[in-house]
Chains A and B, each alone.
Chain A
Amino acid sequence: MLSYLFKRLFRGFITFFIAVSITFLILRLMPGDPTTLLIGPNMTMEERMILLNDYGLDKPFILQYFLYLKELIQGNLGISFIHREPVLKIIMGRLPWTLLLMGVTQLVTASVGIPLGVIAARKKGSNVDQLINTFTIFGISIFIPWLGVTLLYFFGYINHFFPIGGAYMPWNEGAGLIFIKDVIHHMILPVLTLSVIYLANYVLYMRSSMIDILSEDYIRTARAKGLKERKVVWKHGVKNGLIPTVTMAGLLLGRMVGGAVLTETVYSYPGVGRMIYEAVGKQDFPVLQGAFIILAFSVILMNIITDLIYAYLDPRIKVG
């Protein structure tokens, strides 16, 4: 178990290292002067000098790379052109909203998608299965802004069931239970949007792994023992069927970040995604770069957690 954990941590480290190196290469190898990308047009001379010194932009390329890594380890992601504040501070204020959105979406998609996948596998070839399959094809083809706009139009604009943007009403801030209710109210449409998109992945994975598992010997043995069909499928089958699904759920996180960026933009949700959209419009490169680094870090961390769940589900890993 310990060596497994160590291996995962090492892989996470390598992944993060490569992510960080790619951003360095993008920003430094581009034609033109990197200072224009890192130092805002309306910074004071003093700020400019501090940044130039921090990044060592007058030093050789390799040295710049190590200086960049050093600054990164110290949590220095640069200063936003627009907000004139450290990028890390700005992002940390936004990150909880994005993580909340993604966490709730994972919960919803898992609790709906896993049972649907099991049903589709048990009724393989039937009309129910066909219906679920067709639905999943549409699910992977949906363009997130379309779904967002459609939901907003019907449930926010025509009928005022849900607010058309934001994460809470400003006057409810700090109002305890009312605030929590308000946040949930604002979250329903964005979570619904993301869930419709990513539900298909759970259904497809669960269906195909359950089809394989239901023809295994141990399932036949469980049936031969006289266990109830419900228990055979849901206890003996699903626990094993979850193993590949958990791997998929971990891999899904990276793509879900992309979905969250688009969803937050449509719903003016105050997460990192919306911040990225605003930064694109204002060419705020340090914020864009910092957002990618922090999002990559979050995804890698969540992947390690997923791997631990996987180890719990699959005891062979604990032994090996």
Chain B
Amino acid sequence: MAEEKKIDTKSFWYRFKNHRLGMIGFIGIIMIFSIAIFAPFIAEEPGGYGTAEEILQPPSKSYIFGTDYMGLDIFSQVVWGTRASILVGFIAVLVAAVIGVSIGLFSGYLGGIVEVIGMGLADIFFTLPVLPLMIVMAAVIGSDIRNVAIIIGLFQWPKLARVTRASTLKVINMQYIEAARSLGLKQYKIVFKHVLVNASAPVLVNMTIVMAGAILSESGLSFLGLGDPLTWSWGKILNNAHQSGAFISAWWTSMFPSLAIMVFVICFNFLGMGIRDALNPKLY
């Protein structure tokens, strides 16, 4: 078996810096985060109603993304919507990681019945149509933005569970784990300090992909009308456009929020590619 080296931070950064797509994703994400943090300085918080002349105006100098059916500036909606998407993404990844990593870790480390149940559950959630299930949950529980984020996280864990199990299986046969065992370390210390730390690299890569998936899910749910009515999110801007019936003739009402969603998602997918390639340069 190949010797699994610990992540060499210096050479990782060197390889990551030279990964064009990875860097594009990284810089893009930093820019989007800055927009979210500095939203109040970039655009006014959208709210209220516009005047009659301001309804469904195409992009112009004063409204660079145009206005919606209530005469509100779409640019400021998109800017403020950044916050919602980031919030949802982070909560969902956190929930998915806590569930997925623990199930994967214990399935890989303990094996036996734990593994059968854990991986069996992951298989089942892979097979089921998850979006309709999320819709049922969101409709029943209510679409507060934190609820929606938690619901998304509850269904994104199987991917992380599989990846964690696979890398746990690789790590537990390593000599340093045997050494830790023979030194008489406590089980939980071996699992969390040695196994988890060394199995974490592929998990990290997949967390960026889960993040991208979570943002797409939130946008989809909001688009279907399950978004938080009190928070601006990109999916909700689209839902407003769709419900007003002007989402095709007034193309700007749907184009800019959905482009924002895609730019964000592509950045996370690029980042994931960059981290993956920088972690195992042999493969690519």
In the complex the two chains form, is B136's CB within 8 Å of A145's CB? Answer: no
A contact residues, total (Cβ < 8 Å): 52
Interface centre among A143, A150, A289, A295 (most CB of B within 10 A): A143
In the complex the two chains form, is B270's CB within 8 Å of A37's CB? Answer: no
In the complex the two chains form, is A262's CB within 8 Å of B132's CB? Answer: no
Q: Which residues of B contact A15 (CB under 8 A)?
A: 124, 127-128
Q: Which residues of B contact A253 (CB under 8 A)?
A: 127, 129
Tell whether A161 is near chain B: CB-to-CB under 8 Å. no
Tell whether A19 is near chain B: CB-to-CB under 8 Å. yes
Interface centre among B131, B226, B254 (most CB of A within 10 A): B131
Q: Which residues of B contact A254 (CB under 8 A)?
A: 126-130
In the complex the two chains form, is A262's CB within 8 Å of B223's CB? Answer: yes
Interface string of B125-147 (1 = CB under 8 A from A): 01111111101110111000000
Query: What are 18 pairs between A and B in contact, CB < 8 Å?
Result: A15-B124, A23-B133, A23-B136, A26-B136, A26-B137, A30-B140, A137-B270, A141-B265, A141-B269, A146-B255, A149-B258, A251-B126, A253-B127, A254-B126, A254-B129, A254-B130, A265-B224, A292-B129
Q: How many contacts A-B (CB < 8 Å)?
A: 140
Tell whether B261 is near chain A: CB-to-CB under 8 Å. yes
Q: Which residues of B contact A27 (CB under 8 A)?
A: 140
In the complex the two chains form, is B249's CB within 8 Å of A157's CB? Answer: yes
Q: Which residues of A contact B98 (CB under 8 A)?
A: none
Tell whether B87 is near chain A: CB-to-CB under 8 Å. no
CA distance A281 to B242 in the complex (A): 12
Instruction: Identify the closest chain A residue to B213 (Cβ).
Output: A140
In the complex the two chains form, is A277's CB within 8 Å of B220's CB? Answer: no
Instruction: Identify the closest chain A residue to B139 (Cβ).
Output: A288
User: Known: A18-B124, A143-B219, A261-B131. Contact between A277 and B248, CB under 8 A?
Assistant: no
Please report whether the interface of chain A is mostly helix, strand, loop or mixed according to DSSP: helix
Contact of B220 among A149, A258, A285 (CB under 8 A): A258
User: Known: A149-B254, A164-B248. Contact between A276 and B224, CB under 8 A?
Assistant: yes
CA distance A281 to B243 in the complex (A): 10
Contact of A141 among B131, B212, B224 (CB under 8 A): B212
Q: Which residues of A contact B248 (CB under 8 A)?
A: 149, 152-153, 156-157, 164
In the complex the two chains form, is A143's CB within 8 Å of B135's CB? Answer: no
Q: Which residues of B contact A281 (CB under 8 A)?
A: 225
Tell whether A84 is near chain B: CB-to-CB under 8 Å. no
Instruction: Identify the closest chain A residue to B267 (Cβ).
Output: A141
User: Known: A149-B251, A276-B224, A288-B135. Contact between A141 and B129, CB under 8 A?
Assistant: no
Question: Nearest 7 A-B pairs (CB), nearest first?
Answer: A258-B131, A146-B258, A257-B129, A292-B132, A141-B266, A141-B265, A149-B254
Query: How far, in Å, is B147 (CB) from chain A's closest CB?
Result: 11
Contact of A145 among B226, B238, B251 (CB under 8 A): B238
Interface string of A12-52 (1 = CB under 8 A from B): 00110011001100110010000001000000000000000
Contact of A296 among B128, B139, B238 (CB under 8 A): B128
Interface string of A231-263 (1 = CB under 8 A from B): 000000000000000000011011101100110
Q: Which residues of B contact A292 (CB under 8 A)?
A: 129, 132-133, 135-136
B contact residues, total (Cβ < 8 Å): 43
Contact of A140 among B126, B131, B269 (CB under 8 A): B269
Query: How far, in Å, is A205 (CB) from chain B's closest CB?
Result: 15
Q: Which residues of B contact A299 (CB under 8 A)?
A: 127-129
Query: How far, in Å, is B264 (CB) from chain A's closest CB?
Result: 9
In the complex the two chains form, is A143's CB within 8 Å of B258's CB? Answer: yes
Query: How far, in Å, is A8 (CB) from chain B's closest CB?
Result: 12
Q: Which residues of B contact A295 (CB under 8 A)?
A: 129, 132
In the complex the two chains form, is B129's CB within 8 Å of A258's CB? Answer: yes
In the complex the two chains form, is A288's CB within 8 Å of B136's CB? Answer: yes
Tell whether A169 is near chain B: CB-to-CB under 8 Å. no
Interface string of A277-300 (1 = CB under 8 A from B): 100110101001101100110011
Known: A26-B140, A143-B261, A296-B133. 7 other contacts (CB 8 A): A23-B133, A137-B273, A254-B126, A262-B220, A277-B225, A295-B129, A303-B127
Tell whether A120 is near chain B: CB-to-CB under 8 Å. no
User: Known: A141-B266, A277-B225. Contact between A289 and B258, CB under 8 A?
Assistant: no
CA distance A141 to B141 in the complex (A): 28
Query: How far, in Å, is A166 (CB) from chain B's closest CB?
Result: 14
User: Known: A137-B266, A157-B248, A254-B127. Contact between A277 and B132, CB under 8 A?
Assistant: no
Q: Which residues of A contact B132 (CB under 8 A)?
A: 257-258, 261, 276, 288, 291-292, 295-296
In the complex the two chains form, is A19's CB within 8 Å of B265's CB? Answer: no
